[in-house]
Structure 1
Amino acid sequence: MFKTRTWITLSFGLLFCSSFHRALAEDEDNESTESDEAKDEHNVRVTESRLAAQLFAVLEHYKQEDPLGFPGAPIPDPMEVPDIRKSVGMGTLSMSKVKAYGLSKFRIDSIDADLKEMVVDAGIQLDKMDVKGLYTLNALFSRANGPFTVVLKNVFVKAHATLSVERDGRLTTEQIKMDITFGDMTTDFQNLGFMGNLFQSIVNSAPTLVFDAMKPFMLQEADKKLRDEINGNLEKFLGDRRLPNSISPLDMAIAESRREVRSRGYDPYHLPDYNRTAGIFTFQLVNSWIWGVASFYRVGDMSVAMQNNTIKLHFHVGTQEIAGESHWEIDFGLASRTGTFKFSIQYIRLTVDVSQALDTRKRPRINDLQIDLGNMQVRSDGAGTLDYIAEAAVNILPNLLRYQIMDVLENPIKMRIQEKFDTIDVEKAIKDNIEKFETMGSNFSFDFKL
């Protein structure tokens, strides 16, 4: 029920927005004779079709056993590093025409996104990165120059990004912190001549010397590109929409979802009539309604994580009071009796952990489910003395034992949900909704039925 324009989509954009941005921005309309409206309509269609094509490429990419890189990611490979000049011992090392190779062969190690705080931590791993260029080493009265190669193994990039809503309502990147580490490094500076022993001793005493010289420039370049791509995509996804800075985008998305639940007719929710016949007895429940389904809200933090090519979603939500009413009728022989049945639950709180492999041929999994019920009240009318018995049976015993009852019911409910999950063709559902998005455009809302 979450509309595609909600900010949750933007959280994943922190990692993947770069590739989507390129896919969405590459096409331009060169027909000067077309009207502006025709151009806009054409660009929208192209954008939607490119988004679908990009998503399909991602689905295929993660069917691999060990997917490297990301389809369409605008990561320069090789990446140019500005000229470097650094003092080393009694000399000066200058490096020019430096390029880093292998950046596109990254592996996503982990992603942790706190949707409430709008904070994302990501880890990206490279098995190997080669840095090549030309060097000049001036020391005392000696000088050496030539090509050089630095091989970094087990490179790990950590990124911490924070989004915020500015005063004008724009969602933008507030802060990005990055760091690069490696497990092992080898260097090869050719034509050092008799300066080789001196320089090698310096490198051995400070093995990160060359890397530390390149690192600030690489981080600066990565920060600029990442910030530009994220902000560009945030602007593209949100358009002219402005967000309030008095409420988090997550809570605003939940508020929109509550309106969506009501607009779809789920609150109040009309239950289908129920009929049961056993011999001369007939029991009916008619005109049954439930109120409060759309009163859900965020109880604690909500997070999205990705590890081992699996996305995990953790959320803790609760409702305000849930109330219901039903009219019942019992026929037995020539006699009948009618009445009403009303109930209320102070609150319902759910803690849920679900996961979905990026290989969409696999089914979603529910890993944990915890249910907490507030005080329950029942009011029965029409059954005479049985009304008091039914009310006493429900209002006293279940309230005393509701925690134990929930513990018993959680596993069967979890198993039932998993049975529903097992029937979902995730890849087909995504493709069907993308086709629906291409047809409906901005009026699209995601429909994922169990």
Structure 2
Amino acid sequence: HTKNQQVIKKGEKKISEYILKVLDHYKQDDPVGIPDAPIPDPLSIPPLAHSFSVGKMNFKDVKLYGLTKFRIQHVKADITAMKVETALTIKTLNVIGNYTLSTWLSRANGPFTVKLTDVYVKAIATLEVKKNGQLEAQDMNMDITFKEIAMDFKGLGFFANMFQGIINSVGTFIFDSIKPFILREVNTNMTKDVNEQVRKIPQKFPNSISPFDQLIADVRHRIRNAKLDPYIVNDYNNNVGIFDIYMSHTWLYGLSSIHRVGDIIFEIKNNTVHALLEVGTQRMEGKSHWEVSLVAGLMSKAGTVDFSVEYLRVQVVLSQTMDTRNPPKLEDIQLELGNIQVRFDGAGTVDYLVEFGINVIPNLLRYQIMDALESPVKQRIQEVLNRLNVEKIIKENVDKIDNPSAIEFL
């Protein structure tokens, strides 16, 4: 059994420690970068050479400063597709080094600075489940652009005026030349770091099922264990015009057929995580007792009805600030019931009471089921969220990520 256990080497950072560090970082009003991000700052660039009509320029000792000073503008994670899209902004990046300019007339050399302003980084990353059930980050698809560029070359002397004409092409050349190094370095380091951390998670995932679907499978199991399938729906009384209708002993079978419907999307905007989850059931069956009577109780008919509900869908939007001291919020919840079909028993002779019942009972069942589920589901979610002390939960459970025997909490 110990083979599967990932032993965390001495001196190696635990994921749990890293998570707590990141959470503390996001308690700031304007968090910049991420603690211990595996991005070199400064990033060393190999020597570059650039030829143009009047001569040649060589650049050496080139370093790029500021890569770790990013702000997260937007993150969108599609959990089912295991894909993450990220947009980061960096106020300024500085390229600093030494140049030599050689022409047939003479030479100039000295230090130079290229300042890039309003830098925008876009990245798309994907996770895959390998054959052994381990999650693995794939290569990232990245691009980096900027709004403005400013250059300063010291020691140009005689070339200063002549150089003005070609200075823009030099700045763009430097950026275009260092861009592949930035992308390669960030891609390699981030992918390597993510995989090192993911490998420490002892949980294995079947490669035919996404981690979230596995979680839903666990919810199905919990619904059965909590004896919520079949589900007893509250009795329902309604009067329509001169009729009273009473629905009782209503049972609904099939809540545990819950499964994912659509994608699960997490978005980070303005330091808040928004989660959109949509789950649904398969076709559900049910049984109910019905009684229709005139208001005065002069006449009444009763019987049972079998019904089927095409599906129940629940769409939930939750939000949680990156500062985990704040509680999560239920932003929105939508419940949708599919088509309801009914089969009557005990109708006996077809008279106006029965005909009335046949016409209104499907709608009453819809109200009864929605009534029985909507408020409790909303209330239950909100109650759970209100009780959640996210920071405390993370701190109490975070070490379990490092511990294979305690991974059941997932």
Is 1:193 the counterpart of 2:157 in the alignment?
yes
Q: Is this contact kept in 2: 1:377–1:394, CA < 8 A?
A: no
TM-score, normalised with respect to structure 1: 0.70
Quote the Cα distance in structure 2 between the aligned partners of 1:436 and 1:100: 38
Summarize the Cα distance change of 1:223–1:88 in structure 2 as closer, same or farther, 3 Å threshold.
Answer: farther
Aligned ranges 1:35-434 → 2 under 5 Å:
43=8, 50-165=14-129, 171-204=135-168, 207-237=171-201, 241=204, 243-244=206-207, 247-250=208-211, 252-254=213-215, 256-258=217-219, 260-261=221-222, 264-266=225-227, 268=229, 291-323=253-285, 345-376=309-340, 392=358, 395-398=361-364, 414=378, 417-418=381-382, 420-434=384-398
Kept after mapping to 2: 8 A contact 1:380/1:390: no
Q: Answer yes or no: is the 8 Å Cα contact 2:288–2:305 preserved in 1.
A: yes
Q: CA deviation at 1:105?
A: 1.7
RMSD: 4.3
Distance 1:290 1:314 in 2: 27
Q: Deviations over 1:136-159 (max 9, x none)?
A: 222233222221112222111111
Residue identity opposite 2:86 in structure 1: A
1:349 deviation in Å? 0.7
The percentage of aligned residue pairs carrying the same residue is 38
Q: Aligned AA for 2:267?
A: A
CA contact 1:89–1:202 (8 Å) conserved in 2: no
The alignment partner of 1:43 has SS state of coil
SS in 2 for 1:396: helix
Partner deviation per Cα, 1:255-303 (whole Å, 9 max, x = no partner): 64356436744564677999xxxxxxxxxx99x9764232112222221
CA 1:137–1:441 in 2, change beyond 3 Å: closer, same or farther? farther
Q: Secondary structure at the match of 2:197?
A: helix
Distance in 1, matches of 2:256 and 2:377, equals: 21
| Residue segments in structure 1 that go unaligned for 5+ positions in a row | 1-35, 275-284, 328-338
Structure 2 distance, partners of 1:41, 1:219, is 31
Report the count of equivalent residues. Answer: 381
In structure 2, how many angstroms separate the alpha carbons of the residues matched to 1:89 and 1:250?
A: 58
Question: 1 CA distance for matches of 2:131 and 2:399?
Answer: 36
For residues 64 and 315 of structure 1, the distance between their equivalents in structure 2, rounded to whole angstroms, comes to 28
Change (3 A) 1:223 1:56: closer
User: Which residue type is aligned with residue 292 of structure 1?
Assistant: G
Identify the range of structure 1 (174-183 vs 316-325) with the bigger mean alpha-carbon deviation. 316-325
Tell me by how many angstroms 1:127 deviates: 1.3
User: Which ranges in structure 2 are unaligned for 5 or more consecutive residues?
Assistant: 236-247, 290-302
